[in-house]
Structure 1
Amino acid sequence: MSSCLEIFSYCDELVDEFEKVISCPKKEKSSVYYTGVDLGTAYVVLAVLDENKKPVAGAYRRASVVKDGMVVDYMGAIKIVRELKNEIEEKLDAKLVYAAAALPPGTTSLDSGAIKHVVQGAGFELTALLDEPTAANAVLKISDGAIVDVGGGTTGISILKDSKVIYVADEPTGGTHFSLVIAGAYKMPFEEADTYKRDEKNHKELTPVIKPVVDKVSSIINTHIKNHDVSEVYLVGGTCCFNNIEEMIENYIKIPTIKPKNPLFVTPLGIALNCTQEIME
């Protein structure tokens, strides 16, 4: 388990640093800034690193411009990314030029054009477009195992062997489905259920309500790892912020399942770490 502790030591330190600069940006000038744009189903997150690839600023906003991993509100997505970009530029008193972005695994041919145009439409030069679990591994740095990114709309899986991605998959099921079952169980509007779900003090009470959806996520994981030698599963994505979700999944799949302290910010930081100054064609 020592290797896991080492992995999460780096990951948690990076996320801790990022959380601090969201509220208190580092204003020391950098020769270049690298931005990660994470267009999620529930949140749009921008993570900004300096020339040494250290967090200097960030911003995020609740949004519904993406559904099941696909951009459904193109102009709304551009507007939010542009506003977050402007907000960070004002705080840093600097121009953000370069950005990388990511997609759910296996959807590159379907939605890569839309993501590219959103990032460019917001005023960035796009330098990289990769799948979300692979981006997350720039922070996790695992060599073997499965990275499972449970977002608002989909569950993405990346299986690694000797530090190489050997298999990717993505299926609809995520935090939106948690909110739907809560809305049904409590007879409340979806938005109210979504907000109720995010309050940590409600998690214990909600555990039996959302268990069928967690079981579905676990079943998806099982389906995609069954033909691979996976000894550990690593959870990222905003939906994994739900308390004890790792224990619920581990009980189902019978494989050690681990998550960092704040899984929401792992992928956007990984996207930013993949940003370069080489503009994509």
Structure 2
Amino acid sequence: MTEGLRPDGTIAREGALERVPEAFAPVVAAARKEIGAVFGPDRLHSAYLYGSVPRGTAVPGVSDLDLQLALRAAPTAADRADARALEAALDARFPQIDGAGALVTSADVLLSEAERYDLGFFVACLCTPLLGPDLAERLPSYRPTSLLARETNGDLGRVLPGWRERHARGEELGRVVGRRLVRTGLTLVMDRWGGWTSDLDRSAEVFASYHPEWAGEMGRAVAAGRSRDPEAVGVLLDGLAPWLAAEYARVHGEKAPR
């Protein structure tokens, strides 16, 4: 079977609750309990884990906890405030995680036609069900195509100016910039490679097999994605990021505006 794919060539869901490392089991149990208590069935449609914890690769004290909350209605300011409070409480309670993050989106948006090859793909393939009915049952199967590449990461050129402004203000962007550049590098070559992975090191390795001239900078992006190194971010924003944005637009086109 090709890496990351089912026998029929579609992208396999990469996480599962049974893959959660033992050290993180109490964190996941607490997250499930607190999400249900804070949001309740009237507000919450479903909740998901994503990232290294459900993939089984999380490192205690280093990895963060990533959550996606699907609400029954468009998120309000109160919903977002409750999510931030939940993040802070989990981070303070569990030394196993280096931060927690909860994305808050309506179920309707996650299922929408506009998001079919972006947030829909994210839920169906990169998220692991934690609470409530699984939205993936209402989404299609996905293949590593140029369309998927364009709609997931084809907006890099649009986000670069904002990153530069935030970096100039001294904001910590290592994980944001590093991880996004690695994912964009992988999806740039995904349709030629014909597989899928979310692993940072493997993504960088696959990218470098097609663009060895950028292997060093992609390795720097991997390191930035795991650290808080403002110097590395500056180098990436001046080198790899603008090249990747331009090459991505040339190869796959730009993501459709939302």
TM-score by length of 2: 0.31
TM-score by length of 1: 0.29
Is the strand fraction higher in 1 or 2?
1
Is the helix fraction higher in 1 or 2?
2
